[in-house]
Structure 1
Amino acid sequence: MRSARDYTDIIGGLLLIAGGTWFMLYSTGYNIGSLRRMGPGYFPMVIGGLVLLFGVLVLLPGLFRAGQLPRPEWRPFLTISASILLFALIVERFGLIPATVALTLVAAVADNQSRVLRTVILAAALSAVAVGVFTQGLGIPIPAIRWSY
């Protein structure tokens, strides 16, 4: 069904504006600093401003062009949400690798055309990258695998 406005871009732009505004407001609780001497609130303030700007750039054209009314797809929404919740529940108890594998396997259910072998390879690669970046690179104390709780 055609509409006088592109509500998909309007909704997306408003969500980006809301997210960017939240980041900017949240960062005001920290010292912003300056470009030469950045405080802990500087990076969230800049990222929030960029997200807000992109929201405006998505929103404005959507107000002046026709488009389809959006139809929500519940399966991808629910499976992606469930995979994030599952990651949060698993990561402390069992470690980063099992949590990343669970996240990837459950999120793959969102796609009707996902292949098992590709999903397993993706889960292994994402687990290796997560351990390399977060545990080794950034030194975040998350065990790769926790055998006992």
Structure 2
Amino acid sequence: MAELEYACVSEAHPERVEGSTPSRGTRVKNMTLLEYKNLIEENPIAFATITEDNKPNVIGTAFAKIVSENEILLTDNYMSQTIIDILQNNNVCLTVWDKNLKGVKIIGTAEYFTTGKWKNFVENIIENKGLPAKGAILIEVSQIIPSK
């Protein structure tokens, strides 16, 4: 399993590892994607990809599922440009926040599935009932940046 890089946007975090370089992101001890499970699974998400001509493409999505300590699964119900982008450049970014402005930015790489385990998974989650579930996007998280 790849080691995740965690970064804080504030020096106020007590978990900060001494000696880290703030300009490159402050590493945080003992934080995992699982700590953001409720935030991620219960709120809409802004999901960003990069187009072929290096322009940002951002969509809103829902129904994200944390499937491991460093993987998030999204459903492709109505995506088009986003899938094209992932197939050309798999670098992605997600951001999610709640009504109290607690949020997180997540950076990683995406893989798109139209068959197999992950496609079956998204077809069978209750939130996708009655929706097309055309594919599954598995995001391997490389960096987590909390907003506060």
Q: Which has the higher helix share?
A: 1
The answer to whether TM tops 0.5 is no
TM-score (norm 2): 0.27
Which TM-score applies when normalising by structure 1?
Answer: 0.27
